[in-house]
Structure 1
């Protein structure tokens, strides 16, 4: 067989071949052992409701190929296969990919929103039911359902699926999504029952801070659904939510909320409530609620349990509490198996960290993060909360009846079920753990929407966080449909504000009329990213009005000065030098940051216009970007080439956004490297600068400086949290202080992906795997073997197939390997060589090591501080000398010293006792003796 065609992937790639649109785009991959295999044509076979359809595609297109058949109709079912042609002939037909159309026809949505008639409390959970008849010859039964809140449906006592917190969170006033579920196997001829358990979820949650949180949408949940029964004779019936349903509010769910957790009393459970024949005479008629917009089918991945973790260790706190350590900070819930007397209650409290041996709950703020289960007393009882989730590594168990068995509790990891696509590994175990922490933070915070954190009274879709993290997310998981769906919500809310974008989407903080740089720029950055990384031109086209709206709005604010200035900004958020109570007070001028992002958005909008064929728009936005560039350089750069905000973020923005002219770029790179060295290769950037600083260093030739930043373990640094035992990325560089206490600020999370955006640099620069064309049609192979690592590699399961790029040091050489999938090629840039192209296949190159070992010079009291910090062994000796006198003196030395070229080492001892001088001289003598120098 010359080559093999894999089963095609339908657009959105949802469960079981679910297709939410009538014309899904198709993608497929070919595998070939022969090098330089290229597709010359493809044939697509659609088997739909018993009929076969064929279509031919000439050329090499295989990613997001337009649907070549007639529009699908609601509930259409079939399979799609593909075969591909290359120089050696045709492949066999691929395995079939299932197809199920999950959308409704025009006017088919009939369901009413229903809820409790007279709720006794705010956000009261409810149970709702209806019995119905199923005739003979049932061919198919499909349930469509949505909620103002969260729900699970049951047919004849069985849950209809394994999804959690359906239907997720959208701006309910503008967009609702419905699930589409085949429930045929759960029905039988005759009497059947449909039951729905309902809670408030995001719809009734209180949003806001400083004691001012209030419900944004409503105070009571409601649900709407309709069950379609299709029979073999062509007839059909609908069972819809309407006034005929019955409801109860006194069931086992006492309370359920995102922040407070869930309370469940099993003694109140009526076991047959969702089965036919149940006596619901004590239940009441339902109330009809406001309908909202007609729901559309889900286009993003489902949320479900994706992994189960056992208890790693049982601890006893100083106060005598039973604490469970799962060994990993995660997002999800606990599932317990328990036997005990009726009425006894097990209480489960959750936290990410311990402080002084007890649960560290202060960072949760007002979120109780507590679940409670009251036993029925009947045999072994198994329970997990249905309508909440928590961010935690540790759990406190109170009220457990009898002896506690750790095997009776597991942690279920919950999140949007996206396919993993990207991996990275290197020779440094701590860097590998850092990368794993990034993966876990993405898993936990991609739950229906990209959130900031999963544990405290927030969990919002902050636009700035995902704008920063998008490139990393696009590598680690197949996140195209997830982010594309969220961008629909962004655009819908943006339409209400005249082009501005809120701090969060959904905008429950009512911030949409306060444009903020780096946050609102998600409107331009993410659509272009999805085009670049996935080849998703359709999302780019759909979001283009949103891109224009944002850019035009900010250009209008900039006015004739072409600078965005003097307005509310988050700036370089969580700059490590900012006060704990004011994370926005960064070293970099917020107007400089804002105007740089104005340039970026104008540039990206121009690129999008060019890609989409809007030539006049492209010219207009390019011209606007040039005016912003000229104004930025005139306002913020001195004639000598120094940026007025002389901070790492300022130079990184200018270099990575392309503001710097070729004449300025080298100088900006040198100054950035000087600042990084001056600061001891510790982090000096916040949200805005962190994704850019290592890119800016390596792109201007300062590879060693970037490597030292990556491998730094002192606070603030990426690896500091790893040395403190972190298993996810922290919100602040010092979320936990070196003494093990929690940062005293009111804003501290131990699971925030934003600062993990350095992983994009690990993938694209250190390993050297990136896209040179959209969807990696051409791969960019450009590894940078940084000092301090012996090897590094990345693997990406991309649209054209698996890509591997890696390198390893061997003696004085570096061996680079790359595997490029069929029907694609690569542009290769290796240190010391001119760029060249290669075809698909596996390749190996050997080059001279670009970072050979350095000469070891003598270090004396007259050695410049810049030379000391650039010599890791010398730096370690100097620090050890200060620490040997007193750790507090050593800490102060590291905090105060500015590692500059025009100060000798002796200058650091000018205000310290002679004891330090003596210790320092001793350490230097030992260092020099070991090097054989004086």
Structure 2
């Protein structure tokens, strides 16, 4: 029956963006849900949240009741009950009222549970192997005297750990915990081990590797070394009668050298299967020859929950081709550039050594070209030494590689396809968006963009490259952040990384490093501005104001630092350092002046700061930054607008796009600037790109906004240098660092898997599909597809905090068909080319239009 309470419901309950999280450190989490409802124009008019504790299966104690709140908001509602204590779990549910005051049933219950919030909660000690070893096994027997009711494992291992209880791995993560500046923060994990712990003897085992904590084989930008591996764990068991037992890392924990006799995050592993301790993580294992652990120094950083997902195994790829390039040397082609590792099955004699070397390009003779992934002298490499068993299996644990090709040497016999599997590994962020269209090349560009961006998601850091540098460059990351937010749920990932910027900021000057947590590397004002731009994007795309509130004073400090490099309203450099980057990775020489790009970012930052200050109720700051924006745009216009030629600055490499994004182009200049830009692209650039990482996405956006969508489409679908299509037609399955196929040392590419040009993906969603949030978290949505070029259809969807928005459009010579899905409790503006603007509420819609002539 229409209007009945069964028609509406609150679903997908989340606490701080997670479903039923445990081990949280935010004692007042934000609560969110989605509304499900039939029909059109469905809205939430009010909600009621109840939070309660369960003292038994039948007894509940109310902790907080919001009572009925008249609001359409269902994203990031602050919990206002009593703050959580360590280990405390509370449950919550919500019911909602619709636009006609019909009330739903209560939702299904959800919960959130606190971790160890105080230093005094930790009884465990940091331990280590007193004798240095590349990787170490730790083992502890825990005797459980009664039937356990519940169990928790709190653990951190630096650099990486894998934990096991009674032989079963705890969790699905790999390469954990995520990377930080360990003297500031150290992540720990909480695992629910209730189903793994048993009455009687339990064996807890950990393998500990170097990770980023003990990395000193490669000096990249700066020396990255903190200390030798160390482990902290605390197992807490609760019984039905209320009693508890605690088992901790201490000097009674035993250790033994792992057969992983070498492990490095850049260069790989050496695994000697002859040294295996079979059954070490299970019962009935004799550990008499194992030694007792030593006490380790604390790493220095604050122990806190890791918000961003750890790396996970995402999918497996099988060999497309195996070639013998010289006698005994084979090259496996997996058909896709990627990050991860290779699992291998092998049989042979004891002591046989199989070497796997990884790369992304081949020389003409079929051998792997290692220069694109770092150097020719020390490659990404795994070595497996056989034990001599009938059949052996090897899989790495504490490294990952960037590769498409694998060179195999020393393999007994002839390698077969079924003996090798490539495991794609990246951060476990959820996919949230899809895009496909009628143009095969655009689909290939989108696919390559996603593979590149995924390849950069490791250890909670958006990396510049997955092999050579592996650092969190701010400029590379800020320019792809919007694209990432369309295709993936990135909030918690970026939230942790923004904390790295706060850790790294100079407390005196306000300077923000170009990379974090490394805190070194090349860049300019754009790179540190990732803190402001990504925080603003989290507000726009996820409705997150809490991050802006936490970081706002740090952002002010950064802007104050940039002011120290200003002269007459132009940002000449970073403080007194004038030798810094502006744009990066243009075709050929970078011609656009750094001071032009630097001033753009300062003014753009001021614009975003104004909006965030208004949202946070900081009116004085909003007024200040509005004035900063106005004054800087005026200085920018006066300094860089060339009225004689109708262009900005050099009139190349995207200068007009920068000016347009900034709002610097006056109405009376607009016609001349458009004409100049079109002429520059079609004549001087012959329809191809001349932009770098910042100008490229701005240029595509500007062309559509200028009514030059056909020019943008031609550029995107071009297959001549320099263009995305040039990469694809030259065999790229991921995007390159430079537009050139060959570059630099030995005429090899710097690398062929770099996420920064993946910013094009946001153009596909925002312009070709036309999906854009008009209000934070997509509370109001714009659907404004650019029907350009020879596109015949586009199909796209984005899972927003309020639900999934979808658009499918197709056209022929006679008509245009548009289907849209607007999630409940939101509204949309539909802007189809040549048609009247439509305001629509939630629901499923189909529209048919007569096609307009181009």
Report the TM-score range of the alignment, normalised by the length of the smaller protein. over 0.9
Q: Which residue among 292, 297, 312 is the counterpart of 2:300? A: 292
Q: Structure 1's 783 and 467: CA in aligned 2 closer, same or farther, altered over 3 A? A: same
| TM-score normalised according to structure 1 size | 0.85
3-state SS, counterpart of residue 565 of structure 2:
helix
Q: Report deviation, 1:768.
A: 0.7
The equivalent of 2:3 in structure 1 is: none
3-state SS, counterpart of residue 186 of structure 1:
coil
**Structure 2 Cα separation of the partners of residues 207 and 521 of structure 1:** 31
3-state SS, counterpart of residue 807 of structure 1:
strand
The equivalent of 2:493 in structure 1 is: 482
Q: Structure 1's 97 and 302: CA in aligned 2 closer, same or farther, altered over 3 A? A: farther
**Structure 2 Cα separation of the partners of residues 846 and 568 of structure 1:** 56
Q: Which residue among 524, 528, 537 is the counterpart of 1:516? A: 524
Q: Does 2:261 match 1:254?
A: yes
Q: Structure 1's 667 and 724: CA in aligned 2 closer, same or farther, altered over 3 A? A: same
| TM-score normalised according to structure 2 size | 0.92
Q: Report deviation, 1:485.
A: 1.0
**Structure 2 Cα separation of the partners of residues 320 and 675 of structure 1:** 54
Q: Which residue among 94, 105, 111 is the counterpart of 1:82? A: 94
The equivalent of 2:601 in structure 1 is: 597
The answer to which of 430-439 and 404-413 deviates more is 404-413
Q: Structure 1's 383 and 96: CA in aligned 2 closer, same or farther, altered over 3 A? A: farther
**Structure 2 Cα separation of the partners of residues 405 and 141 of structure 1:** 44
The equivalent of 1:569 in structure 2 is: 580
Equivalent pair of 2:486/2:798 in contact (CA under 8 Å): yes
**Structure 2 Cα separation of the partners of residues 39 and 456 of structure 1:** 48
Q: Which residue among 685, 694, 709 is the counterpart of 2:691? A: 685
3-state SS, counterpart of residue 648 of structure 2:
coil
Equivalent pair of 2:252/2:292 in contact (CA under 8 Å): no
**Structure 1 Cα separation of the partners of residues 222 and 73 of structure 2:** 51
Q: Structure 1's 769 and 444: CA in aligned 2 closer, same or farther, altered over 3 A? A: same
Q: Does 2:162 match 1:152?
A: yes
**Structure 2 Cα separation of the partners of residues 208 and 314 of structure 1:** 31
Q: Which residue among 58, 61, 64 is the counterpart of 2:73? A: 61
The equivalent of 2:624 in structure 1 is: 620
Q: Does 2:202 match 1:197?
A: no
Higher relative contact order (CA 8 A, sep 6+): 2
**Structure 2 Cα separation of the partners of residues 746 and 493 of structure 1:** 34
Equivalent pair of 1:454/1:751 in contact (CA under 8 Å): yes
Q: Does 2:125 match 1:125?
A: no
Equivalent pair of 2:165/2:197 in contact (CA under 8 Å): yes
3-state SS, counterpart of residue 696 of structure 2:
coil
Equivalent pair of 2:356/2:381 in contact (CA under 8 Å): yes
Equivalent pair of 1:7/1:95 in contact (CA under 8 Å): no
The equivalent of 1:70 in structure 2 is: 82
Q: Report deviation, 1:46.
A: 4.2
3-state SS, counterpart of residue 223 of structure 1:
strand
Q: Report deviation, 1:589.
A: 0.8
Deviations 1:238-280 (A, max 9, x none): 322233333333x301000111101111110112333455324
- Tell which structure's C-alpha radius of gyration is larger: 1
Equivalent pair of 1:7/1:81 in contact (CA under 8 Å): no
For 1:742-753, list aligned pairs within 5 A.
744=746, 748-753=750-755
The equivalent of 2:725 in structure 1 is: 719
The equivalent of 1:263 in structure 2 is: 270
3-state SS, counterpart of residue 635 of structure 2:
helix
Q: Structure 1's 850 and 689: CA in aligned 2 closer, same or farther, altered over 3 A? A: farther
Equivalent pair of 2:20/2:111 in contact (CA under 8 Å): no
Q: Structure 1's 450 and 291: CA in aligned 2 closer, same or farther, altered over 3 A? A: closer
The answer to which of 10-19 and 420-429 deviates more is 10-19
For 1:168-247, list aligned pairs within 5 A.
168-206=178-216, 215-247=223-255
Q: Does 2:658 match 1:653?
A: yes
Q: Report deviation, 1:464.
A: 0.6
Structure with greater strand share of residues: 2
**Structure 1 Cα separation of the partners of residues 429 and 691 of structure 2:** 31
3-state SS, counterpart of residue 533 of structure 1:
helix
Q: Report deviation, 1:431.
A: 0.5
Q: Report deviation, 1:743.
A: 7.8
Equivalent pair of 1:206/1:213 in contact (CA under 8 Å): no
Equivalent pair of 1:148/1:172 in contact (CA under 8 Å): no
Deviations 1:255-306 (A, max 9, x none): 0011110111111011233345532445254242234123101111132111
Q: Structure 1's 515 and 339: CA in aligned 2 closer, same or farther, altered over 3 A? A: closer
Q: Report deviation, 1:185.
A: 3.1
Equivalent pair of 2:250/2:293 in contact (CA under 8 Å): no
The equivalent of 1:799 in structure 2 is: 801
Q: Report deviation, 1:318.
A: 5.4
Structure 2, unmatched stretches of 5+, are 1-5
Q: Which residue among 749, 762, 765 is the counterpart of 1:763? A: 765
Q: Does 2:512 match 1:504?
A: no
The equivalent of 1:312 in structure 2 is: 320
Q: Structure 1's 129 and 2: CA in aligned 2 closer, same or farther, altered over 3 A? A: closer
Equivalent pair of 1:129/1:245 in contact (CA under 8 Å): yes
Deviations 1:89-131 (A, max 9, x none): 23344344454434444521243322221326xxx22222333
3-state SS, counterpart of residue 184 of structure 1:
coil
**Structure 2 Cα separation of the partners of residues 306 and 746 of structure 1:** 30
The answer to which of 271-280 and 483-492 deviates more is 271-280
The equivalent of 2:453 in structure 1 is: 442
Q: Report deviation, 1:184.
A: 3.1
Q: Report deviation, 1:18.
A: 6.1
Equivalent pair of 1:160/1:183 in contact (CA under 8 Å): yes
Q: Structure 1's 851 and 237: CA in aligned 2 closer, same or farther, altered over 3 A? A: farther
Q: Report deviation, 1:668.
A: 2.3
**Structure 2 Cα separation of the partners of residues 125 and 659 of structure 1:** 57
**Structure 2 Cα separation of the partners of residues 142 and 390 of structure 1:** 33
Q: Structure 1's 545 and 432: CA in aligned 2 closer, same or farther, altered over 3 A? A: same
**Structure 1 Cα separation of the partners of residues 144 and 652 of structure 2:** 71
The equivalent of 2:371 in structure 1 is: 362
**Structure 2 Cα separation of the partners of residues 773 and 635 of structure 1:** 34
For 1:334-373, list aligned pairs within 5 A.
334-356=342-364, 357-366=366-375, 367-373=378-384
**Structure 2 Cα separation of the partners of residues 746 and 463 of structure 1:** 25
Q: Report deviation, 1:490.
A: 0.8
How many residue pairs end up in the alignment? 832
Equivalent pair of 1:207/1:215 in contact (CA under 8 Å): no
The equivalent of 2:669 in structure 1 is: 664
The answer to which of 383-392 and 557-566 deviates more is 557-566
Q: Report deviation, 1:460.
A: 0.7
Equivalent pair of 1:272/1:278 in contact (CA under 8 Å): no
Q: Does 2:706 match 1:700?
A: yes
3-state SS, counterpart of residue 648 of structure 1:
coil
**Structure 2 Cα separation of the partners of residues 103 and 805 of structure 1:** 45
Q: Structure 1's 657 and 52: CA in aligned 2 closer, same or farther, altered over 3 A? A: farther
Equivalent pair of 2:814/2:851 in contact (CA under 8 Å): yes
The equivalent of 1:919 in structure 2 is: none
Deviations 1:779-838 (A, max 9, x none): 011111112212223211111111112322222443333221111101222323453421
Equivalent pair of 2:525/2:562 in contact (CA under 8 Å): no
* Two-structure CA RMSD over aligned residues (Å): 2.4
**Structure 2 Cα separation of the partners of residues 253 and 712 of structure 1:** 48
Q: Report deviation, 1:644.
A: 2.5
Q: Which residue among 517, 542, 552 is the counterpart of 2:550? A: 542
